[in-house]
Structure 1
Amino acid sequence: MSEDGEFLDRLRAVARRHFGAAARVTPLDRPSMGASNDTLVFAVREAVGEQHLVLRQESYTGAGKPYISPAAQYRLLGIAERHGIPAPKPVFELQESDGLGQGFAMTFVAGETLPRRIVRDPALAEARPKLAHHCGEALARLHAVDPAEAEFLAELDDSRDPLAAQRQRLDTFDEAHPVLELGLRWLELRRPQQPQRCLLHGDFRNGNIIVGPEGLRAVLDWECAHLGDRHEDLAWICLRSWRFGGFDLPVGGFAEQAPFFAAYRDAGGAEIDTQAIRYWQIFGFVRWAVLNVMQGYGHAVEGRRSPVFAACGRNVAMMEYDLLMTLEGSYD
């Protein structure tokens, strides 16, 4: 996606349909490239004032696609709004006739998203102690949503059998990864009993949140949402991959697990099984590695040429190392 004349003309037409014929559109910023969506921050000026919005357009359509459709993401933002979960508010969906592909617009939420700044920036020093509480509360609210509201996610591979979904994706890319085979085997032999399913964000972590001096402002990037075991969400944010140098603080590099889990329970979340957390952490390393195999495959085979995606292919070895160290017990 580029901000050429034709693109802007089409975006202006969409804006005028929703905000009136006098609406004017100005592109403001293009955040760093995401794995599944292109993102554009733009301003819409009307007679009554100006508002900043974020356009999200689907960009990944390759093999082993693990992402839900923009239409489903848009519906999830509506669910978050109804249940008081901090997230951008849905504004409008693109239509086929708009000529802009699949996507939607949501409200812009100001704040910090870069993980290392969230972990280290002195300006956020007062926010970091609050994040464990805010994140635990947000997940408790999400997991309390009646799964019937998100029944449109029920037939996703990750909703039906998340472990089989990782196996299927890895086989799609036809690469030899003995460490991931070991991880998949470990998980298969220790499958937990079928839990009560709830709505999961699927990628709740440092890097997908917006933070201000007062704490958590919004949860971003809902494209991996599905139904499943709540421990999957709770364990994902604790992966070593999301600590960004703060390795002694397992929750996103900014908090211990105890206050995070306590906040989750205090906000209505069910009791947490520490053995289930370990299982889903092992699962998380396998899943994160498979996603990076996918991005490297896209760069090397499918024509999605990008240094970022090439680096993802290289980074698989780092995740495999973390997986082995965690299985051994050397890493928490």
Structure 2
Amino acid sequence: MSTETAPTADALRDALERRIRAVLGDAVTVSEPTRLTGGASRETWAFTVTDPSTGRRDLILRRDPPGFEDPQRMAVEAESFTEALRAGVPVPELVDHSTGHGRAAAALGSSYLVMDRLPGEALPQRLLRDDRYASVRSALPYELGRVLARIHRMDADAVPGLAGGDQVEQLFAMYRGTGIRLPVLEIAFRWLRTHRPQTERDTVVHGDFRNGNILVDDSGIRAVLDWELVHRGDPMEDLGWLCVKTWRFGSPLPVGGFGERADLFRGYEDECGIAPDPESVRWWELYGTLRWAVMCGHQANRGLVDGEDNALELLAIGRRVAECEKDLLDLLGLGHDDAPVPGPEPSTADDLFGRPSATELLGVVREFVRRNAAGGDPQAAYLSRVAANVLGVAAREAALGPELRTRHRKALEAAGFDSETTLAKALRAGTASADDPAVAHAVRQAAAARLAVANPRY
């Protein structure tokens, strides 16, 4: 982890200009950078370079949050761009990147990439709902299959430092590091270990190929973005990750919300001559759902670190583990209990704190934040919407929490456990099983309770 101090927002333009002039020439000028919304793991800034001889050029800066740098990963990502272009994968042109903890990284506060800003849309909600993309949506699964096949034709040996290894065990190590102990996740890890697919392929894996990281315009796919999780391994991992329910954003269609798996598989086979194995893709889809749950827990832990300026978004992501639990139960065929929502909140007439209740206070603050989310700075508006959602979670927990905790404790006692952590450890050790109806009910009840608070509309 670097100890370099990041430049302030006001100083970032000057730092960028010094660095870009070193690459593109002393005549260029750099506009004030604008922080873009989204992206919990990295900062994204848009800015414009003007050259008197060649004109204007729109660029993007992707930077590790200062204090959370990973210069090795950033260097691997930069090398991946070069090899991707050679393999015919659409990616932005890379203008500059840091090579470690040297002067280039220090100049911008942490490890970074600078690339062209291409025209197009990456926001999933717009891609899935705007009429502008209606004509291209149905063709995207086939095209996504073809692009993935090109990624998997990349020469893994041409990307120095590209890591591999057992993805399940690496994810399990990350899971243990979060401190989370949830029965559903333990059941999923056990299932993955006992149902591993066989593969002889070892390719470049993008690692985050999904709706949200694909740039699209009226003609189709313009670029594949965000290569920070690139590694080598089973190429079916990318297909499974693309089909994870989280990346459908409310659509019932499995491939990023755009269409059907059959079209994705057909595009892949037409491009490289290899037909994907549906069962292998399903295994990786379950792995991807578990992976997102662990990543949510990891991001929440980051948000609890003092000085983390993105704490609001990171902590909000932590409660999304509940969505993954439901998805995992469905994929594992274990079913799920309906969200156990108790009745109306008891009267506060005789309550120590009286009216308004905590739920009522949180509700009015939430509405205030929601009303003030529109207009002004896009980043502030985005975070205001996140804050409104967080207040909703807190209000539901205040109202429903006492009754849900009582039900949770009774379900655990009926299964013979004093805590959910004890149950999770027993499932890991094999001394408890989801085949036991009392255990299965306790697992489902807890997952449904968390979802009722985190996102009852999921």
Q: TM-score, normalised by structure 1?
A: 0.92
Aligned partner of 1:224 in structure 2 is 229
Residue 225 of structure 1 aligns with an amino acid whose one-letter code is V
Superposition pairs of residues 151-300 of structure 1, within 5 angstroms? 151-153=160-162, 156=163, 159-247=164-252, 249-300=253-304
How many Å apart are 1:287 and its aligned residue? 0.5
**Residues 67 and 227 (structure 1), Cα distance of their counterparts in 2 relative to 1, 3 Å cut:** farther
Task: Name the CA shift for 1:160/1:330 in 2 (closer, same or farther; >3 Å).
Answer: same
Quick one: which of 138, 146, 149 aligns to 2:147? 138
Contiguous gaps of at least 5 residues in structure 1: none
Distance 1:82 1:126 in 2: 29
CA shift, 1:102, in A, is 1.1
- Counterpart code for 2:140: L
- Name the structure 1 match of 2:96: 92
Cα distance, 1:328 vs structure 2: 0.6
Quick one: distance in 1 between partners of 2:70 and 2:174? 8
Q: 2:118 maps to what in 1? A: 109
CA distance in 2, matches of 1:193, 1:68: 30
Does 1 or 2 have the higher relative contact order (CA < 8 Å, sep 6+)? 1
Give, in whole Å, the separation in 2 of the partners of 1:6 and 1:295: 28
**Following the alignment from structure 2 to structure 1, what is the Cα–Cα distance between the partners of residues 140 and 94?**
24
Cα–Cα, structure 1 residues 214 and 13, in superposed 2: closer, same or farther, change >3 Å? same
Secondary structure at 1:272 match in 2: coil
Q: Is the 8 A contact 1:210 1:216 kept in 2?
A: yes
In 2, Cα distance between the equivalents of 1:300 and 1:284?
Answer: 25
For the 8 Å contact 2:64–2:112, the answer to whether it is kept is yes
Distance in 2, matches of 1:237 and 1:104, equals 24
In structure 2, the CA distance between the partners of 1:297 and 1:303, relative to structure 1 (3 Å rule), is farther
Alpha-carbon distance change, 328 to 303 in structure 1, aligned in 2, over 3 angstroms: farther
In 2 relative to 1, CA 270–68 (structure 1 residues): closer, same or farther, beyond 3 Å? farther
CA-to-aligned-CA distance 1:41-71 (integer Å, 9 cap, x gap): 1111001211011111112766xx9996211
* Distance in 1, Cα, partners of 2:245 & 2:14: 44
1:27 aligns with one of 25, 32, 39: 32
Q: Is the deviation greater in 32-41 or in 208-217?
A: 32-41
Any idea what SS the aligned residue of 2:135 has? coil
**Residue aligned with 1:250, SS:** coil
Runs of 4+ displaced beyond 3 Å? 1-5, 65-68
Answer whether contact 1:77 1:90 (CA < 8 A) is retained: yes
CA shift for structure 1 position 4? 3.4
Partner of 1:9: 14
The 3-state SS of whatever aligns with 1:27 is coil
Question: What is the match of residue 61 of structure 2?
Answer: 55
Q: What percentage of aligned pairs have identical amino acids?
A: 36
Q: How many residues align?
A: 324
**Residue type of the alignment partner of 1:227:** R
Q: Is the 8 A contact 2:122 2:216 kept in 1?
A: yes
Structure 2: any 5+ residue segments left out of the alignment?
1-5, 337-458
Inter-partner Cα distance in structure 1 for 2:257 and 2:156: 30
Over 3 Å counting, the alpha-carbon distance change for 1:253 and 1:137 in structure 2 is same
Of the structure 1 ranges 167-176 and 143-152, higher mean CA displacement relative to structure 2 is found in: 143-152
| Cα RMSD for the two superposed structures | 2.1
2: CA distance, partners of 1:115 / 1:93: 27
Matched, 1:149 2:155: no
Is the Cα contact below 8 Å between 2:240 and 2:284 reproduced in 1?
yes
